């Protein structure tokens, strides 16, 4: 094995399909091994934005919805897309309002520029924890979503992630990162006090 970087070389690219949300591109390439290869890439037009909200009782808020791609119901943290030209935090604030009808006084970045499925897509994900929540009616729900909202203790949400009850990769990463920060003293004391209460 070598530490020498051998990048892919692009010979040509064509857009196979595009809509409001994604573009599908086909690349004729030369792989790092030197072999010719065809590579398909899905490019979302938005950033992936996620929020791990914590209420005054130490609960997190899960959103349930029917996922078209899998043909099944999924419990997840609030998440959606945010325009690349807007700060991710601004998009996270909108998502929390749209999906949960809430706003937060406090925000903590969990991670940024994470790649959720880097063999298929160049999607970039940004996530935040949010607390000191209050009602927010400024944002209308998405017309294509019928959402259920469920409050569960943070520790129970982590158990749901570990047991496989939560299968959404973005939600898993948010919950496990927050749990790690909690166990290693990486959260603000006010927030860790809510979760551990």
Q: Is pLDDT above 90 for 93?
A: yes
Give 45-196's CATH code, choosing from 3.40.50.11540, 3.90.79.10, 3.40.50.970, 3.90.1150.10. Answer: 3.90.79.10
What is the per-residue pLDDT across 17-29, written as a single tens digit (0 to 9) for each? 999 999 999 999 9
Reported confidence tier of residue 110, pLDDT bands at 50, 70, 90: very high
Task: Choose between 137 and 157: higher pLDDT.
Answer: 157
Reported confidence tier of residue 100, pLDDT bands at 50, 70, 90: very high
Q: Give the 3-state DSSP-derived string for the chain, with helices as H, strands as E and coil as C.
A: CCCCCCCCEEEEEEEEEECCCEEEEEEEEECCCCCEEEEEEEEECEEEEEEEEECCCCEEEEEEEEECCCCEEEEECCEEEEECCCCHHHHHHHHHHHHHCEEEEEEEEEEEEECCCCCCECCCEEEEEEEEEEECCCCCCCCCCCCEEEEEEHHHHHHHHHHCCCCCHHHHHHHHHHHHHHHCCCCCHHHHHHHHC
Closest to 130 measured CA to CA, from 100, 167, 161? 100
Strands 125-135 and 46-54: parallel
Averaged pLDDT for residues 142-158: 88
Q: Is pLDDT above 90 for 97?
A: yes
What is the per-residue pLDDT across 152-161, written as a single tens digit (0 to 9) for each? 999 999 999 9
Reported confidence tier of residue 69, pLDDT bands at 50, 70, 90: confident
pTM summary value: 0.91
Averaged pLDDT for residues 21-43: 95
**Any idea where the domains of the chain sit in the sequence?**
9-43, 45-196
Distance CA 153, CA 66 (A): 23
Q: Is pLDDT above 90 for 146?
A: no
Task: Choose between 50 and 141: higher pLDDT.
Answer: 50
Q: Is pLDDT above 70 for 196?
A: yes
Q: Is pLDDT above 70 for 197?
A: no
Percent of the chain past pLDDT 90, that is, above it, reads: 87
Q: Is pLDDT above 80 for 179?
A: yes
């Amino acid at each position: 094995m070598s530490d020498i970087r051998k990048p892919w070389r692009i010979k040509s690219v064509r857009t196979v399909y595009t809509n409001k949300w994604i573009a599908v591109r086909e690349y004729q390439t030369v792989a790092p091994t030197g072999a010719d290869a065809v590579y398909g890439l899905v490019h979302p037009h938005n950033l992936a934005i996620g929020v791990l909200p914590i209420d005054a009782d130490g609960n997190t808020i899960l959103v349930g919805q029917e996922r078209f791609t899998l043909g099944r119901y999924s419990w997840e943290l609030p998440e959606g897309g945010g325009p690349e030209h807007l700060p991710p935090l601004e998009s996270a604030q909108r998502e929390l309002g749209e999906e949960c009808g809430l706003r937060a006084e406090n925000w903590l970045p969990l991670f940024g520029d994470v790649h959720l499925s880097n063999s298929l897509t160049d999607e970039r994900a940004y996530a935040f924890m949010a607390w000191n929540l209050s009602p927010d009616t400024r944002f209308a729900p998405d017309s294509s979503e019928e959402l259920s909202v469920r409050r569960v203790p943070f520790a129970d949400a982590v158990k749901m992630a570990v047991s496989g009850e939560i299968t959404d990769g973005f939600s898993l990463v948010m919950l496990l990162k927050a749990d790690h920060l909690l166990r290693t003293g990486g959260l603000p004391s006010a927030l860790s006090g809510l979760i551990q209460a």
